Structure formats: structure tokens, C-alpha cells
Amino acid sequence: MTLALAAHTRFVLMLCFGALTVAAAAQIDSAKRTKGMLIGVQAWTFSRFTTMEAIEKVAAAGGTNIELFPGQPLGREFPGIGVGPGMGPEATAALRNQLAQYRVSVVAYGVTGIDRDVASARKLFSWAKSLGIGILNTESTEAIDTIDKMVKEFDIRVGFHDHPRTSDPNYKV
């Protein structure tokens, strides 16, 4: 293993450990913990299904926590509506009811953009808070000042997720 690859591997492991630490510390009252940690399923696992179906499948597999992702179709009863802060109160209520019916907690949402504009970001954070979401995952490093304000205002943690756009081991978020 080259020195650069070893350093990159250590960095990735530190990021993973950091993400687990943040997830374990999240203030989500309704979420079931395993040895103090939040363990759940990313809804992308069921990306070929609606969010409502994904919640059912998580529960059927014995899961209790889910991370939702932006734009996943909500359900057949809500054609054209994807999961996110723009889904409206009726669709958000239906999502909340589905989560309660299957005893699944939505503990995180992402990977989502967070706008630099405070008013726009506030809509995302308000929606997340209304669902009890304690972690938003983003790649929006350019919005760090806005994120800092929103984290303090809403007591929601933000994780930075890296979807590398290159195979260059020196790439940084």
C-alpha cells in the first residue's frame, strides 16, 4: 500500500468514526438505540420503491430507524410528490402517520443541499424538526455560515457526506 493510499484510508476511517459518533450523540427521543448508537437503514436501499413502501420494508426486517433521501416518491396516494420540505402539510402528515404505524423513526435526511440563503435553509430545518429528524446530511460546504446558524436555532446536527466526483486520492470535499 502506498503512503498516499494509507493516509487516504486513515482519513476515510476517521470520517466514518466521526459520523458514527455524531449519529450516536443525536438528540432524537423516539429513536431506538443499540448499545447507545442509532443504527438504521438509508431509504436509498429501497430506491426502487416509494418511501411508504420503504418504511414498511424496514419494519418487516426488524428495523426501527431510517434515513430518508430527497425526492424519493412518497407513495401511490401522492403521485408526483417526493420526500422533502416542499411536500406540503398533508403529505408530511401522511409520512408521519406511516412512520408511527410501523414504529419507525426517521433519524436523518440526506444527502440534501442546504442553501446559503437563511430563509430557504430555515424551511428545510423547520420541516426536518417537524418530523423529529436530528441529522441532516449534506455536501453544501459553501453554506457553512448558514448551516452554523441553523444548527444553533434548531438543535439539528449536520453531517458532511462526500460523493467523490473523481478517483483522485488527493480530492477533498
Closest CA to 106 of 66, 137, 76: 66
Type of residue at 66: I
Q: Is residue 30 part of a domain?
A: yes
> What mean pLDDT do residues 122-150 have?
95
Answer whether the bond into residue 111 is a cis peptide, omega within 30°. Answer: yes
CATH of the domain at 112: 3.20.20.150
- pLDDT in the model for residue 162: 78
Q: CA 132, CA 107: separation in Å to the nearest integer?
A: 7
pTM over 0.85: no
Q: Is residue 34 part of a domain?
A: yes
| Higher local confidence (pLDDT), 64 or 17 | 64
Q: Is residue 169 part of a domain?
A: no
Backbone angles phi, psi at 163, to 5 degrees: -100, 90
The DSSP code sequence of 56-78 is HHHHHTT--EEEE-TT-B--TTS
Q: Is residue 40 part of a domain?
A: yes
Q: Is residue 165 part of a domain?
A: no
Q: Is residue 28 part of a domain?
A: yes
Q: What is the number of structural domains in the chain?
A: 1
Q: Is residue 146 part of a domain?
A: yes
pLDDT in tens, 84-104: 999 999 999 999 999 999 999
pLDDT in tens, 40-53: 899 999 999 999 99
Task: At 40, list the grid cell.
Answer: 438504521
- pLDDT in the model for residue 148: 96
- pLDDT in the model for residue 26: 40
